[in-house]
Amino acid sequence: MARLTDANVSIAEEIIARYPRAKSALIPLLHLAQEQDGWVTDEAMRHIAELIGVTPAEVLGTGTFYEMFKFEPVGKYLINVCGTMSCALLGADDLMHAAEEELGIHEGGTTDDGMFTLHRAECQAACTEAPCLQVNYRFKFRATPVEVRQLISDLRSGRLDDEVPPHGTLARIRQHIPADRGVGAVDPADVTEPPAWISAASQGGAS
């Protein structure tokens, strides 16, 4: 639990290289740290600061602005019940109550076994499928209280391990720019000319 592993440092370096300025990688790297440990540790933030050449305070300063980064441990499964208008109109409160009852915790809490954290969330861009919720940012659409209980029991028993990775993992496919195809990031200070196809066009034709 701590600094990024060697494997993650290679991933981090690949990410950093895509940006003209390293600090742009800050949010993706915080995600990487959260994927590694389930939450963002102080050691990971220090390590990220070293990797992108800023102070740990800057990493924390940016990180705390964003809801998804957790600076203390959360459950293996983070359940976010949407409470914004369309979901509220169609029974979001009932979903929350069912989850609270099934888990024996209140909104905002984490179960004693560290399996579940329950939050009320904002509009999840699935309003036509209201009421909905996300588990580790995977959707459950048009949910009923009965389904919420079933979902929790499926998660508990491990039946959904293939579908729902532990908290911290978002996309399970990463972008990879092949070295022989990528154009590469250039510091904007080193560029003054129009790009090649614009210059070529002013001399007639792009290809």
Q: In terms of C-beta density within 10 A (0-12 exposed, 13-18 middle, 19 or more buried), how is residue 53 classed? A: exposed
- What angle (nearest 5°) sits at the alpha carbon of residue 34, between those of residues 76 and 116? 15
Q: How far is the CB of 198 from another protein (least distance, A)?
A: 4
CB under 6 A: which stretch of 93-101, 124-132, 177-185, 198-206 binds ligand FES? Answer: 124-132
C-alpha span between 148 and 25 (Å, rounded): 36
Is residue 171 at the binding interface for another protein, with CB under 8 A as the rule?
yes
Question: Judged by CB under 8 A, does residue 88 bind another protein?
Answer: yes
Cis status of the peptide bond prior to 194, with omega within 30 of 0: no
Q: In what order do the strands lie in the sheet with 116-121?
A: 116-121, 77-82, 133-135, 138-140
Site for ligand FES in 131-190 (CB under 6 A): 132
Applying CB under 6 A, which part among 39-47, 57-65, 85-93, 195-203 lies near ligand FES?
85-93
Measured from the CB of residue 28, what is the shortest distance to another protein in angstroms?
7
CA angle 188, 61, 134 (to 5 degrees): 100
Q: How far is the CB of 187 from another protein (least distance, A)?
A: 8
Question: How many Å apart are CA 106 and CA 95, to the nearest integer?
Answer: 13
Beta carbon nearer to another protein, 112 or 172: 172
Our finding on whether 110 is near another protein (CB under 8 A) is no
Q: Under the criterion CB under 8 A, does residue 115 sit at the interface with another protein?
A: no
Q: Which residues make up the interface to ligand FES (CB under 6 A)?
A: 82, 84-87, 123-124, 126-127, 130, 132
